[in-house]
Amino acid sequence: RREFLGAAAGGAAALALRRTAAGEHPPIRPPGARPEDQFAGLCARCGACLRACSYGILKPDLGAGGLAGLLAPKIDYSKAHCFEYCNECTKVCPTGAIERLALETKRNRAIGLAEIDRKKCIAWEYGQYCMVCHEYCPYLAIDSVERNGVECPTVKPEMCRGCGACQVNCPALPDKAIVVKSIPQRPARPLPEA
């Protein structure tokens, strides 16, 4: 049993190093996560935040963050996004790796930044109306420009929180045309009053 666990740990470490070396984009951490160097050291890998996430977007990092971030929580936008009225993961961290955030503070925190790959985008590449990313963005971060009579999406970086609503709902296949990339977490421009 000890040999099996050692081999599994060694395999995971090799995978982590290979992914990092391959230039994979760093993982997106939960809202309120400390800077990566502090976060990786503080996180106990206890899974409290993963269990607190009602939408199931927090998953163990299997190597995207390198060896130091192995098994720490990262966001996976494959099935859902980080809902604007949820801050449950920020309430349960026992070590302070994830700062406790009031809901309004969390809503005004950028955890990532959406990027559009125009070669995969239905509007940009094929000249067909889509704008699904605009329709689903809760933060008014998707704007548009007209190109050959078709609205094409653009990202307003100052408004984007990196919540992933655009990515999850993007109809482009086999790969999404809009993907959230990690950034150092920062305050974002507040939403205009309704």
Domain boundaries, the chain: 25-107, 110-188
CA distance 35 to 170: 29
Nearest to 36 by CA among 11, 61, 9, 8: 61
Q: Which of 189, 181, 143, 187 is nearest to 162 (CA)?
A: 181
- Identify the architecture of domain 25-107 in CATH: 2-Layer Sandwich (3.30)
Q: Are 162 and 84 in contact (CB under 8 A)?
A: no
- The CATH number assigned to the domain with range 110-188 reads 3.30.70.20
The H or E element spanning position 19 is helix 2-21
Question: In this model, does residue 5 exceed pLDDT 80?
Answer: no
Mean pLDDT, residues 167-179 taken together: 98
Helical spans, DSSP H, in 32-164: 36-42, 48-52, 103-107, 122-126, 132-136
CB 99 within 8 A of CB 105: no
**3-class SS of residue 145:** strand
Domains 25-107 and 110-188 share a fold: yes
Report pTM. 0.85
Residue 3 binned pLDDT confidence (cut-offs 50, 70, 90): low
pLDDT tens-digit readout, 107-157: 999 999 999 999 999 999 999 999 999 999 999 999 999 999 999 999 999
